[in-house]
Chain A
Amino acid sequence: MKKICTIFLTALLFGCSKDLEKFPLDAPSTDTFLKTEAELQAAIVGCLSPLNLRFGENPYVIVFDMYSDIAANRDVTPHALWGTPTAGQVNSIWNTMYTVIARCNFILDNIGRVETTNEAVINRATGEARFLRAYSYAVLSQFYGDVPLVTTTLDLANAYVSRDPKSAVVDFILAELDAASGLLPVDNAPNTMTIPQGAAWALASRVALYNERWDEAIAAAEKVMAQEGTQYQLHPDYGAITHRSGKTSKEIIWAIQFNYTDVFHETPVSYRSRMAGGYSNRMPVQALVDSYDCTDGLPIDESPLYDPAHPFENRDPRLAMSIALPGSVYYGYQFETHKDSLACWNYNVSPAVRVPNLDATHTFASFSGYCWRKYADPTEEHATRSDINPIIIRYAEVLLNYAEAKLENGEIDNDLYTALNKIRKRVDMPKIASGQTTSALRTLIRRERKVELAGEGARYFDIIRWRIADRVLNGPCYGRIPRGFLASAPAIDENGTPDYSHVANAGEMRVIQTRLFNPAANYLWPIPDIELQTNKNLTPNPGY
């Protein structure tokens, strides 16, 4: 090789054509879409599909509970999931909800392009788009507080939006849900993609409650309650609501649709015990187990029915329906997490046989000693293929929203007690007698909400809006005592939170993780870091 010196420009490498394909060929582009009714249907499915969002293959809505005091994710603390501006779920929720919003905006901006004379199709799609956009803003405002309120399709020139006050976002949500309710179908059709009109009211009751707009919460809940018996009713079997047999229950107002063939989730494998072929990496914790009252309606620190030697007896039936308790049968195995229980019964064969008990000996058996029964249905064959639809909102929550809004609005009346007692009657818990003081009733409603909706994604938002997260989400998160039970009942406070400081053997409880909640910052999630970098008009949340 001689001494050479070359400078050259490589302009075209191979196979060049003068005109590049400038529209994406593998997906519809914003420049060509929405001409036909079929495309409109596809577009609505496109608004729904981001809500199949999964975290660790579990639907996001039920993962929300793992951010709270009633459940834990073995691998990661709640703070690590949402406590920093670069945390994955901080980004995912933001991105997912704004994707839904943009798709809804696109439909609403361009629905005039659809060539059809069928007005019903246009109305329904409009209602669905407005509902889904409102839902997305509800989630965003719950987590991030003030968020940009984007209601039309943005292009790059006007994309650098700034944050709008949460109150304005909530105004928008409630107005939109009201409008959507007039466009959505009346009939509740659970286990389909249908969003019924009741879903708009139910969601409005929640958003209004979360934002302490009691009158609106009551009014919206009443509209759903007016359809009780025709469209909505409490499912007689509480444990079945989150199982397969409950998928068509009229209690479900709106759920995200999954199916067995292509859009499924893997919740069972996260939840199941080791014996049942699961990882038990997402689990209920001791603080939830101790939150269920005894069958006399008293918390365990007050009830004479509570026996520390048999802590799971005489308890609110929802405890055993929601949580796999040591000593119970779970997926055909004797579920026992006492560390000395080296063998257990396998009832899946006849006659039953004794087998080595992985739930006592496996390093990664449930750290708390408990597993979820909700969303873990033993009739599902494959642990990694669940088609149970995660419920966004069901009728019992509407009743609870109603009761709480009435209470906080100073309307302690028979309707309030009736709503509350309907939920309790289903599981044979004693009626709450009328004549309660405001604070006593507040405690009862908070306890009721905690156990009724446990494992369904409501708890995190409750401890945030009640401003109790800095108390319940700080310090050690406990599992059971590995070789025994608590010597006595923990003290249950006015929010239904157990306090173990006076239990003699509290130090023997397994510490699953140590949690951190900084009240100066963590009542809101951080705005995603990449979003702050990309859009200089956004401001960070305080403390991040």
Chain B
Amino acid sequence: MSLANTDISWETTEMANYGLDVRLFRNLSITFDYYQKTTRGILLELSIPKTMGVGAPFQNAGVVENKGWDLQLDYSNSHGKFRYAATFTLSDVRNKVLDLKGIQQTGTLVNREGYAMNSLFLLRSQGLLSAADFDTDGAYLHAKPQFGVVAPGDIRYLDTDGNNIVNNNDRQVLGSTIPRYTYGLNLSVGYGNFDLSGLFQGVGKRDGYLTGSAILPFLAGGTAYEYQKDRWTPETPNAEFPRYAFGESHNHQNTDFWMRSAAYLRIKNLQLGYTLPKAVIQRIGVQGARLYISGENLFTFDNFWPGWDPEISAASNGAYYPQVTTYNIGLNLKF
């Protein structure tokens, strides 16, 4: 049973859009758009006390703002047999939850007032602990974490609420999973019968977060990835991963220790073509013929976890079918 809400209504959106379109020297055009959009009365199942024992009704409650801009530059020119053209796009959006009627989510990905939707809600970490963080009796010297055994080589969590206990109440919004500065560059050059085109594409700023076995070696008795072998030991205090601990949950918390930049640049597509000269094609009886070789997803440059696609959805263990690299060789015939 759900509570009936008799005051329900449509949601509303206000949008302002400013655009600019310029063409310079016949070869260059610039398009710029700025928009600001506020959506009010978003239907949300706001938390009601669970002691009521009924499902929460939908209420017109949420207010979310999106501010963004899109820029596009096009340039094309030719010098004799040499032709070239480029299209560059860059856009950005800033998303902000303005009002959720005070209901703050507490998962890994959260909607919280004042932050972007699907923000990362994490414990703030400060490197790995060493023997110096414990006294001679082995007692921990900082605010005590409530996640089980803590030992040198574990992640140090900060007591952000200052109550001298580190627990889930110390989590803060520490990352945003909404891509900022998405860009693309489409280049094409040609010389005589040869043509070469490419699409470069990427994201300038985004926080990536993998969970589960992607970051936790030997989770639940499983195996470990090669990059997880760089673990803390007293001899390797600057390792990337905490000490190996089995069945202990301290290092399994959601923390910015595991957050990585998911910004990337990807060569999405490259194609090299050769159009056969007229003299040749007339002899074989076709109107046009072009040979080409192309590749998709050829290279990706990023600082994300090794082997993982930076475009993977945040707060997942990454267990998806990955983007594949493909190579094609082809012949286009026109009759």
Contact = CB atoms under 8 A, between A and B. Distances in A.
Interface of A: 1-13, 16, 20, 22-24, 27-31, 33, 46, 74-77, 79-80, 83-86, 94-95, 98-103, 105-106, 148, 150, 154-156, 159-161, 281, 363-364, 367, 477, 511-516, 518, 528-531, 533-535, 544
B285 to A, nearest CB: 46
B136 interface: no
B8 interface: yes
Contacts of B48: 156, 159, 534
The 4 closest A-B pairs by CB, nearest first: A102-B53, A513-B247, A516-B148, A535-B49
Contacts of B9: 20
A516 B222 CA distance: 23
B19 interface: yes
Of A4, A477, A512, chain B has the most CB atoms within 10 Å of the CB of A4
Nearest to A2: B21
Given A8-B15, A28-B1, A159 B148 contact: no
Given A150-B52, A156-B3, 11 more contacts: A29-B1, A75-B220, A76-B249, A79-B147, A156-B52, A160-B49, A513-B246, A514-B247, A514-B248, A529-B168, A534-B48
B220 to A, nearest CB: 5
B4 A31 contact: yes
Interface in B1-30: 1-6, 8-10, 12-21
Contacts of B4: 22-24, 29-31
B249 A79 contact: yes
Contacts of A8: 14-15
A22 B15 CA distance: 28
A30 B221 contact: no
Contacts of A76: 249
A534 B54 contact: no
Given A154-B52, A161-B49, A363 B222 contact: yes
Of B19, B49, B167, chain A has the most CB atoms within 10 Å of the CB of B49
A9 B51 contact: no
B279 to A, nearest CB: 44
A513 B10 contact: no
A477 B31 CA distance: 65
Interface string B140-183: 00000011110000000000000000011100000000000000
A159 B52 contact: yes
B81 interface: no
Of A75, A100, A511, A530, chain B has the most CB atoms within 10 Å of the CB of A530
B106 interface: yes
A513 B248 contact: yes
B103 interface: yes
A100 B54 CA distance: 9
B14 A159 contact: no
B109 to A, nearest CB: 14
Contacts of B222: 363
B47 interface: yes
B104 interface: yes
From DSSP, what is the main secondary structure of chain A's interface residues?
loop
B47 A106 contact: no
A5 B106 CA distance: 39
Contacts of B51: 98, 101-102, 148, 150, 154, 159, 161, 531, 535
Contacts of B79: none
Contact of A534 (B13, B47, B147, B245): B47
A358 B153 CA distance: 34
Given A83-B146, A159-B52, A514-B247, A364 B221 contact: yes
A83 B168 CA distance: 10
A11 B10 contact: yes
Contacts of B246: 511, 513
Contact of B221 (A4, A154, A363): A363
A534 B19 contact: no
B31 A1 contact: yes
Given A101-B53, A105-B53, A106-B1, A22 B14 contact: no
B1 A534 contact: no
13 contacts: A6-B17, A12-B10, A20-B8, A22-B6, A30-B54, A83-B146, A84-B168, A86-B106, A102-B52, A102-B54, A154-B49, A533-B47, A533-B104
A4 B17 contact: yes
B19 A512 contact: no
A2 B247 CA distance: 64
A514 B17 contact: no
Given A159-B51, A363-B221, A535-B51, A84 B1 contact: no
B50 interface: yes
Contact of B15 (A7, A11, A99, A281): A7
A272 B10 CA distance: 52
B17 A1 contact: no
B71 to A, nearest CB: 14
A188 B47 CA distance: 40
B19 A4 contact: yes
B191 to A, nearest CB: 34
B247 A16 contact: no
A530 B47 contact: yes
B49 A159 contact: yes
A76 B220 CA distance: 8
A11 B146 contact: no
A217 B4 CA distance: 42
A477 B103 CA distance: 39
